Amino acid sequence: MADALLNPLSLTLSVQTSEAFAAPAMSLADRASRALESGVWGAVMYIVIGLVAVLTAVSVLGLVMSYIERKVAGHFQCRLGPMRVGPHGVLQSLADGIKLLFKEGIEPGDGDKVIFIGAPIFSITATILLLAIVPLAPGIQVVDMNVGVVYIAAVSGLGVMGILMGGWSSNNKWSLLGAMRAGAQMISYEVSLTIALLVVVLFSGTLKVSEIIESQQQGWWIWRGHGVAIVAFCLYVIASTAELNRTPFDLPEGESELTGGYHTEYSGLRFSFFFLAEFANLFVFSALAVTFFFGGWLPFHVGNYEGFNSVMDLLPPVISPIFWFGSKCATLIFILMWFRWTFPRLRMDQLMRLEWKVLLPIGFANLILAATVVLSGLYFFPSAT
């Protein structure tokens, strides 16, 4: 096997075999770590494939999600959304993308040019790094490190840097206000986000993302962990909405207040980088919620009830993960969009109060409760893990 990995071609071929689906233990990531040990070319090839895959994913996600968002918004608002470009406007985001490519990239005269140009790249890098750890199907995951949850917490905090840089370097007081709001908001809500994820870490007993999914073979944590997991999930949804800067937490943009917040001065492709990052993040945070609370690509299982489980397993092994992961993820994304097109925006002080006086105490209490539940085995099917 090690010899085979020396040849980059064999690596690409082996990804396509059913072996990857059959044995999750031999995931892409494992292959990569082996490749690192056994040869440089395998590792380089792997990095290239991974990067290309993630970059493609970011741009495709940006296109698809912005189309979906506009359609959903349209139907929420008694109108149709994009209808002109292509059937039902499916090519609208493509047309917008081409338009953005041709727009002039304006730089503020007195702005800090280096930081100004770097900010959108920083923002999208954080998204790419985060997307790398999202498990899409058994073995389809770019990196699967043993401290995955810590990685998620660390990298998701990186996105705020891009926003802060963008607001600071724009030489615009409104932008600066937006950036400062973003900084305060994202750093605060990161705490709740991590605490919510820690509950699942306690349940599954591992920090590795793929193992967290494997631990849900008997049932998803959202119902096996009953009350505690549901509270954690609610905390996660609220905190991730704030992380994503979406309504009701869209203060950094705050269109009616700050005329666009941190990206007021951005145009053309640089603006679209922020835009892409935002939409890709929407997918990433939904996918992570699915991974942690809804069993990732796993079908709905109830403990050892073989009859019920076998009905759920009826889908063929290639379609099953796509169906389950896709439908769960789409539902969550829809809920987040529902939020955005229903709620008004909170005020800054209310936002901070909500986090530090409401969510955080609940989060800590919930974490302690979760530890008690796990220690005493009070959740469903404790023997399974």
Partner 1 sequence: MTVEVSSLKELVEQASGDDRSPDTQEYFVNMGPQHPSTHGVLRLVLKLDGERVLRCIPVLGYIHRSIEKISEHMNYMNCVHLTDRMDYLSSIMNNWAVSKAVEEAAGIEVNSRIQYIRTIFAELERIQSHQLWWGVLGMDLGAFTPFLYGIRDREVLNDVMEETVGARLTMNYVLPGGLMADIHPNFVHRVKEFIKYFRPKLDEYDDLLTNNVIIQERLRNVGILSPQTAVQYGATGPVLRGSGVAFDLRKDHPYGVYDQADFEVPVGTIGDSWDRYWVRVEEMRQSLNIVEQLLDNIPPGDFLVKKLNSKIKIPEGRYYSQLETARGVLGVFIASDKKDEPYRLHYRSPNFNNLWCLEPMIKGDYIASLIGAMSSLDLVIPDIDR
Residue 170: both structure tokens together = 């724009």
In the set 113, 173, 227, 317, which binds partner 1 (CB under 8 A)? 173
Q: Do the Cβ atoms of 130 and 319 come closer than 8 Å? A: no
Per-position x/- string for 253-282, each x denoting binding to partner 1 as judged by CB under 8 A, each - no binding: -xxxxxx-----------------------
Least distance from partner 1 to the Cβ atom of residue 71, Å = 14
CA 227, 288, 335, 275 dihedral sign is: positive
Tell me the closest approach of the beta carbon of residue 12 to partner 1, in angstroms.
Answer: 46
* Residue 348 beta carbon to partner 1: minimum distance, rounded to whole angstroms: 6
137 three-state secondary structure: strand
- Contact pick of 344, 375, 376, 383 for partner 1 (by CB under 8 A): 344
Q: Name which of 338, 354, 332, 121 is nearest 251 in CA terms.
A: 354
Residues 185/186/187/188 CA torsion (nearest 10 deg)? 50
In angstroms, the CA 360 to CA 354 distance is 8
The residue from 9, 16, 349, 375 that contacts partner 1 (CB under 8 A) is 349
Q: Output 174 or 279, the one with its CB closest to partner 1.
A: 174
Nearest to 161 by CA among 118, 122, 132: 122
Shortest reach from residue 32's CB to partner 1, in Å: 44
Contact between 110 and partner 1 per CB under 8 A? no
User: Smallest distance from the beta carbon of 96 to partner 1, in angstroms?
Assistant: 18
Residue number with CB closer to partner 1 (34 or 340): 340
H runs (alpha helix) in 132-172:
148-156, 159-169
Candidate residues 47, 88, 313, 345; the one interacting with partner 1 per rule CB under 8 A? 345
208 closest CA partner among 288, 144, 116, 159? 144
Q: 306 exposed, middle or buried (CB, 10 Å; 0-12, 13-18, 19+)?
A: exposed
Integer Cα distance of 243 and 249 in angstroms: 8
Q: Phi/psi at 50 (nearest 5 deg)?
A: -60, -45
How far is C-alpha 13 from the geometric centre of its chain's CA atoms?
Answer: 28
The distance of closest approach from Cβ of residue 340 to partner 1 in the complex, given in angstroms and rounded to an integer, is 8
Applying CB under 8 A, among 16, 17, 78, 316 the residue interacting with partner 1 is 78
User: Rounded distance, CA 125 to CA 141, Å?
Assistant: 17
Establish if 330 lies at the interface with partner 1 (CB under 8 A). no
Cβ closer to partner 1: 99 or 353? 353
Does 177 bind partner 1 (CB under 8 A)? Our answer is yes
CB of 102 to partner 1, least distance (A): 24
Q: Which stretch binds partner 1 (CB under 8 A): 40-48, 187-195, 242-250, 327-335?
A: 242-250
Of 108-116, 122-130, 339-347, 374-382, the segment contacting partner 1 by CB under 8 A is: 339-347
Strand-pairing partners, residue 137, are: 140
Distance CA 376, CA 370 (A): 10
Q: Could you tell me which stretch among 134-142, 201-209, 220-228, 341-349 binds partner 1 (CB under 8 A)?
A: 341-349
**What burial class does residue 153 get, using C-beta atoms within 10 Å of its C-beta: 0-12 exposed, 13-18 middle, 19+ buried?**
middle
174 touching partner 1, by CB under 8 A = yes
Residue 365 corresponds to which amino acid? Answer: A
Question: Quick one: 338 or 364, whose CB is closer to partner 1?
Answer: 338
Find the part of the chain contacting partner 1 (CB under 8 A) among 108-116, 198-206, 243-251, 323-331: 243-251
In angstroms, the CA 299 to CA 278 distance is 29
Per CB under 8 A, the segment of 3-11, 104-112, 170-178, 376-384 that binds partner 1 is 170-178
Query: Residues in the site for partner 1, rule: CB under 8 A?
Result: 73, 76-79, 173-174, 177, 247-248, 250-251, 254-259, 341-350
